[in-house]
């Protein structure tokens, strides 16, 4: 959750509110799950609700994650939920954009995982809380579902021609792996990202790579039954190669 309250309010800020006492805090009692705090100080517990896909690992520090969450007090009363609003909640993890409990906890999750994070006040909103929704010194619980993440990459303008093609090729390869694994939504996003690095490039290898990425994006969108996305990707492929049979077929199928 962000540091200051509402999704953007409750989950925005830079660092967790400081704990003002010099005395060590008592570990949480009867918290479900296991202590996953970096310091093993009993302030952050995680209980697995639904296992995720371990094959892609966990989001690295600095990656942009996509989640849904429901936040409750220990008495079960809900103070916030991203599921009550359109779209996912997205932020960079591990860099202080959210509370300490999230920065540490979400970096242990797998794609598709659902877990409950129990955060002592120093892993949440500190001794002051965030009135009126979050009382002073409150321990909070969050049910979090991790839908995916994107790792931080250099922007297109930071790369030379070879770097753009290399980045596009790497993303395309990841997209193909995701497509073969049945992760069609992830594959589509990776193909679109790959294409963005070589769009507008005139070199023949870049144009060939762009055509391949757009064709693959169209194929992934068809699997998702996202007809408009499939038609758009096929249209972009035809802009590169007007005679492409695959592009014509995929546009027609959409």
Which of 45, 142, 188, 197 is labelled catalytic?
A: 142
What sign results for the dihedral spanned by CA atoms 139, 144, 146, 150?
negative
Average pLDDT along the chain: 90
What does the chain come to in residues?
254
- Res 74 pLDDT > 70: yes
pLDDT grade for 7, boundaries at 50, 70 and 90: very low
* Cα separation, 63 vs 150, whole angstroms: 6
* Residue 11: predicted pLDDT: 55
pLDDT per residue over 38-58, tens digit each? 999 999 999 999 999 998 899
Which of 45, 79, 91, 188 is labelled catalytic?
A: 79
Identify whether 69 is a catalytic site residue.
Answer: yes
φ, ψ (nearest 5 deg) of residue 138: -80, 135
Which of 89, 91, 123, 125 is labelled catalytic?
A: 125
Identify whether 80 is a catalytic site residue.
Answer: yes
pLDDT per residue over 128-148, tens digit each? 999 989 999 999 999 999 999
Where do runs of H (alpha helix) occur along the chain?
Answer: 7-10, 100-105, 161-180, 184-198, 204-223, 227-240, 245-253
pLDDT per residue over 23-43, tens digit each? 689 999 999 999 999 999 999
pLDDT per residue over 166-214, tens digit each? 999 999 999 999 999 998 998 999 999 999 999 999 999 999 999 999 9
Identify whether 79 is a catalytic site residue.
Answer: yes
- Angstrom distances, CA of residue 105 to CA of 89, 93, 118, 124: 16, 10, 10, 12
* Residue 24: predicted pLDDT: 84
For 177, the token pair is 């792996």
* Cα separation, 207 vs 199, whole angstroms: 8
Asked if residue 3 has a cis previous peptide bond (ω within 30° of 0), the answer is: no
* Cα separation, 223 vs 67, whole angstroms: 23
φ, ψ (nearest 5 deg) of residue 74: -65, -20
* Residue 150: predicted pLDDT: 87
pLDDT per residue over 58-71, tens digit each? 999 999 999 999 99
């Amino acid at each position: 959750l962000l540091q200051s309250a509402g999704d953007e309010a409750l989950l925005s800020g830079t660092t967790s509110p400081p704990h003002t006492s010099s005395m060590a805090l008592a570990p949480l009692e009867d918290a479900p799950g296991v202590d996953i705090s970096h310091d093993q100080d009993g302030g952050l517990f995680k209980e697995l609700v639904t296992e995720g896909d371990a094959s892609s690992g966990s989001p690295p520090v600095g990656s942009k994650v996509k989640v849904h969450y429901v936040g409750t007090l220990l008495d079960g009363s809900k103070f916030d939920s991203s599921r009550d609003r359109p779209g996912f909640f997205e932020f960079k993890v591990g860099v202080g954009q959210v509370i300490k409990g999230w920065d540490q906890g979400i970096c242990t999750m797998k794609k598709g995982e659902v877990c409950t994070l129990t955060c002592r006040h120093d892993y949440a909103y500190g001794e002051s809380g965030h009135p009126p929704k979050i009382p002073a010194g409150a321990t909070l619980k969050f049910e979090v579902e991790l839908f995916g993440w994107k790792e931080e990459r250099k922007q297109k303008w930071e790369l030379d021609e070879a770097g753009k093609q290399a980045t596009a090729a790497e993303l395309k390869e990841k997209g193909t792996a995701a497509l073969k694994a049945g992760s069609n939504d992830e594959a589509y996003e990776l193909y679109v990202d790959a294409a963005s690095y070589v769009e507008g490039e005139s070199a023949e290898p870049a144009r060939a790579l762009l055509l391949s990425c757009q064709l693959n994006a169209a194929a992934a969108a068809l699997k998702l039954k996202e007809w408009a996305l499939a038609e758009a990707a096929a249209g972009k492929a035809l802009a590169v190669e007007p005679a492409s049979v695959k592009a014509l077929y995929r546009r027609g199928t959409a």
